[in-house]
Amino acid sequence: MEDVQNYSPAVPLNIDRAGIRELKLPLLVRDRSDGTQRTVALVDLGVDLPSAFKGAHMSRFVEALNAWDDEINYQSVRRLLENIKNRLGAQRAYARFCFPYFIRKTAPASCSKSSVPYECRLTGELDENGQSFLLEMDVPVMTVCPCSRAISRDSAHSQRAIVRMNVRMAGFSWLEEFIEMAEESGSSAVYTLLKREDEKFVTEHAFAHPAFVEDVVRNVAQRLFAHEHVEWFSVEVESMESIHSHNAFARIERSVNRAAAGQQHGESP
């Protein structure tokens, strides 16, 4: 049959990335407590397309993904990317998995258990220079405003904030490690199920640990600097302000120099 994709295009320009987006796929993810957990991912796949070709063979992305069916990790994603490169004759291949990851959390006072979802994204790219691996996640926390806490006699405004982390790593790390970093950096973690005694505990704990978004982003960055596998990170904290009509945010991005990180956490060399 006629292969139109291999025709010469009317406009002969190289395309950086062409492919498919938001293909839904069952996914197996490593779980620190239970070994693995099953979730559902939206998957983007792409390749570079030279100027000599009119289009990419989109069905071959789906074939590669159907043949993969693996637990997601550095080695398995590399196998998928190599398969995509070979099937499409590409120099560069790209895969991105967006999925909810669930942690079963225990309420601090009643010990009630419930699952909390965290939005995660994992991106792999493979070219002649090797493979890159980027982990992204959104972690909700609670913050209490230190200014409001200082000037108010009996109260202060509080709100939910989102810690958004992007991390490049040199080795395997549990998703839970980074989630815990974020939750320990705010005024309090958030929960799905809280009884009255839990609400009392969480509120009192949060008011005893007020934090600006600037405090939270610095706290997370300090922990990422200290992590043995982190090579580069960006972290942004956005506060959904409860008494303002706008949000507040703060962001830090750094490459981690292991020799310098032991001496100084504030700035990269």
Model confidence pLDDT, tens digit, residues 214-249: 999 999 999 999 999 999 999 999 999 998 999 999
d(CA 267, CA 256): 9
pLDDT: is 87 or 257 the higher one?
87
Q: What is the pLDDT of residue 172?
A: 83
Number of continuous H segments (helices) and E segments (strands) in the chain:
7, 9
At residue 102, does pLDDT exceed 90?
yes
Report H helices in the chain: 58-68, 74-88, 146-151, 175-185, 196-208, 213-226, 258-261
Phi, psi of 52 (to 5 degrees): -80, -10
Burial of 34 (0-12, 13-18, 19+ CB in 10 A): exposed
Q: 69-73, 135-139, 261-265: which has the highest mean pLDDT? A: 135-139
Please name the amino acid found at residue 39.
T
What are 183's two structure tokens?
């939750």
Under a CB-based contact definition with an 8 Å cutoff, are residues 49 and 15 in contact? yes
For residue range 36-78, list pLDDT tens digits in order: 999 999 999 999 988 877 678 889 999 999 999 778 888 899 9
d(CA 61, CA 19): 7
- The DSSP symbol for 248 reads E
Give the three-state DSSP class for 250: strand
Domains of the chain: 15-261 (3.10.270.10)
Alpha carbon distance 205, 200 (integer Å): 8
Q: How far apart (Å, rounded) are the C-alpha atoms in residues 201 and 204?
A: 5
Is pTM beyond 0.85 here? yes
Which string of b and e fits 121-160 if b means at least 16 CB within 10 Å? bbbbbbeeeeeebbbbbbbbbbbbbbeebeeeeeebebbe
| 8 has a pLDDT exceeding 70 | no
Token readout for 258 is 């292991």
Amino acid residing at 54: K
**SS3 of 112, please?**
coil
What separation in angstroms does the CA of 202 have from each of 114, 189, 197, 208?
A: 16, 8, 9, 10
Structure tokens at 43: 């998957």
